[in-house]
Structure 1
Amino acid sequence: MTTITRERLLKIKQWRETYGAGHNVTLPTQEAEELARIALDLLDAQPIAWTDEQELRDVAKDGCGYLFTVNPITPNADPRRVIKLYSTPPAPVVPVGLRMALSNAGIAAPESDEMLAATHEKYIQALVTWVKDRKPFQPAPVVPEECPEECPEEIRDLMASHSDALFNDDDAQEIWNACRAVMLQSQYLDLSQPVDPQISEYEKIMLRAGWVMVPVEPTDEMIAAAMECDDVVFDSKDPTAFCVQFREIYYAMMDAAPKPELTSE
C-alpha cells in the first residue's frame, strides 16, 4: 500500500501550473522512489479479463454484459475493440472509531484514509500513551519489604506441592522480594472503579489492537488456572532440581482473567 495520499499526488500534478513550465521543483527522494514503484507496478500489471464498448453499453442499458478471458486473449478478438480490465488494490482499512478517537484526544491525523490506514499502528500507540497519561491510576500498592510472618509457611506449602525439596524462611524471603519488585513496577487498572466514557472508548480501540486489561487482584479462577497449569518442570536426572515456567503461569492467568466486553457501537 502506498503512503502517498491522493491530495499529495494532485499537488505534484499541479506543480507545472503553479510554478510554470520553466521551473524545476525538487521531489523528496522517498516520494520519488514511491512514485517510481507505483509506475513500475502499473507497467508490470497484468489484465484479469477484457471486454469491449458494446458489452459496456449492454451493462449500462440492461445491467448485464460479458467479460472474456485473458492469457491468452481470445484468438479471433479484434485488438482494436479490446478493453483490458485490471484489478484494483483494496480500499484502505482504518480501524473503526480511530479517526474520531484521535480527534477527541486532540491528536492530529492524516486527512486521507490511505495515509491513516498505512500508519494506523503509530496513531494507536499515540492513543495508548494519551490514555496512560490521563488514566486515574490507583496509588502505588504498599508492599512491605519484609515477608509477612504467615507468608513463608504458605510459600513453603505452595512449593512443596510441586517438589519434595525443603524451603526455609530465607528462600521464602527471596521469592517474596522477586514478587514484590514486579508488583511495585507494575501499574494496574482497577476495573471496579468508574471510568471516563471517553477513555473507555479509546480502550476498546486498544483492545482490538491486541492490548489486554486485567483486574488489580487475581480472581479465584485466575489463581486456580495458575495452580493447574504446567508451571514446574523437574530435572529428570535430579528430582530435587526444577524450573518454574513463569510464562506458562502468566498465559494461564491471562486466559482465565475476566474479559471486558467490546461492543460495535
Structure 2
Amino acid sequence: MTTITREQQKQILIDTANHVISRDNTSPYSENLRELARIALASLDAEPVAWTSEGALAEVYCGETGVIGPKYIVGDVPLYRHAQPAPVVPEEMPKGLAGQIVSLLAHNIGDKFLAQKIWNACRAAMLS
C-alpha cells in the first residue's frame, strides 16, 4: 500500500485542477468541472485564522461574546478570514438525469416523480 503525504496530495490536486481548467471540452458538465477546479485551487490557501467551539458560536448567535483562540484551548471549529463557498446544488434535476436514475432503479418502474424525490434527498444530503 502506498502512502501519500499531504504535500503530494496537494500537488496532485493542483496538477489535476490545472489540467481540468485548461481542457477544451464541450461536455455539458465541463464548465462545472472547471469552476470546481478553480474553487479547489483557491481553497488550498485557506487556513483558519482562529478556532472556537460550538458553544461559543451559539453564544454569538444569541448576541453574547464568544471565545476564539488556538485550537487546543477553545475548540475544534475553524474560523476563516473569508467565508468559505457554500455548496452549489441546483434545485431542479439536470435534464436527462431523471431517465438515468429511473433506469438504474432495480424495478425500473419508470416513475419520474420518484426520480425527483431521489434527487431531492441527494440534494438535501449535499447541502446539510
User: TM-score scaled by structure 1?
Assistant: 0.20
Greater Cα radius of gyration, structure 1 or 2? 1
**Larger RCO of the pair (alpha carbons < 8 Å, separation 6+):** 2
